[in-house]
Amino acid sequence: MSETADALNAADLPIQTSFSDHVGFIALDNYPKRNALGGEMIAAILGALEVFKTQHARAVVLRSAQHDKVWSSGHSVDELPEADRDPLPYDDPLEQLLRAVKTFPSPVIAMVHGSVWGGACDLVLACDLVVADETATFAITPAKIGVPYNIVGILNFMSQLPTAVVKEMFFTADPVDAERAERIGLVNRLTSSDALEAETLALARKIATRSPAAIAAFKEAMRALSAAAPINPDTYEYLHGLRRNVYLGPDYREGVAAFREKRQPKF
């Protein structure tokens, strides 16, 4: 990552940022919590994206500050409601972050070393491009704690991965390894750990030499077209009713309790 310090950097922020050669860098930097996507972390990322927007960044790289086993453990379970409330409403911080990444005018590149869990997997898919090394794994884990995933999140997976793969990932919550992730299109480029940073930086800098106006128009067109599938109100209410039955039911309550008590849930 560039050594040019950005004004956002401060000792109490859970991220590191820098900006160089029209490329912004955001590094998740709260490894004691395995870079969990809690409110504080997300607010810092959103702030960085806003600054990069004013700096007319032509690409943004999202990475972990550490080359450790976990890239991000996903949505902070400590911030999920215990019961009887939608755990992933429209105004949830993670949902705000996903929208910010998708609507950012320039490409956002996920640089992945280590395992990606739960909502962090959704975040990686929300990025425009993914560069990963052989240590990377990707798992979507709501079935482990009884979370009824929201409709937007499910569509995010369905629009980018084969339906059978999406079903397997959601049904089993098992990680997809790096080689398979590249085969199914979750990862654009797979490289060695030693070459990961250089490969990602080269890609970002190449994008930065292209027309930012053309890229912004293309990215927004792709976002709008991918969200263009119509859904009638009856179907939406039916699907939301299915989710509501889960977060008001015993599985969600047991799943969150088991996670916090560090035991296997009994569904």
Print pLDDT tens along the chain (267 aa).
444 444 455 557 899 999 999 999 999 999 999 999 999 999 999 999 999 999 999 999 999 999 999 999 999 988 888 777 888 888 999 999 999 999 999 999 999 999 999 999 999 999 999 999 999 999 999 999 999 999 889 999 999 999 999 999 999 999 999 999 999 999 999 999 999 999 999 999 999 999 999 999 999 999 988 877 677 888 888 888 999 999 999 999 999 899 889 899 999
End-to-end CA distance of the chain: 44
Using CA atoms, how far residue 239 sits from 178, 203, 247, in Å, is 32, 39, 13
- Is 119 an annotated catalytic residue? yes
82: helix, strand or coil: coil
Structure confidence at residue 79 (pLDDT): 87
* 149 noted as active-site residue: yes
Question: CB of 15 within 8 A of CB of 26?
Answer: yes
* 53 CA to centre of own chain: 19
Measured at the alpha carbon of residue 216, what is the angle toward residues 210 and 218, in degrees to the nearest 5?
A: 95
Give domain 15-193+211-226's CATH architecture. Answer: Alpha-Beta Complex (3.90)
E strand or H helix at 107: none
What stretch of H or E contains 112? Answer: strand 108-112
- Strand arrangement, sheet containing 115-117: 70-72, 115-117, 137-139, 176-177
- Rounded to 10 degrees, the C-alpha dihedral 46/48/49/53 comes to 140
Q: pTM for this structure?
A: 0.89
Nearest-CA neighbor of 87 among 221, 256, 212? 256
Question: Residues 157, 92: contact at Cβ < 8 Å?
Answer: no
Q: Which of 113, 118, 146, 149 is catalytic?
A: 149
From CA 24, how far away is CA 111, in angstroms rounded? 13
pLDDT at 4: 40
Catalytic residue among 74, 114, 118, 119: 119
Q: Vertex 180, ends 69 and 126: CA angle to 5°? A: 70
Reduced to 3 states (helix: H, G, I; strand: E, B; else coil), residue 177 is strand
- Selected catalytic residue, list 24, 74, 75, 114: 75
pLDDT of residue 1: 43
d(CA 20, CA 200): 14
50 by DSSP, 3-state: which? Answer: helix
Sketch the domain layout of the chain as residue ranges: 15-193+211-226
CA distance 161 to 92: 24
Q: What is the pLDDT of residue 11?
A: 56
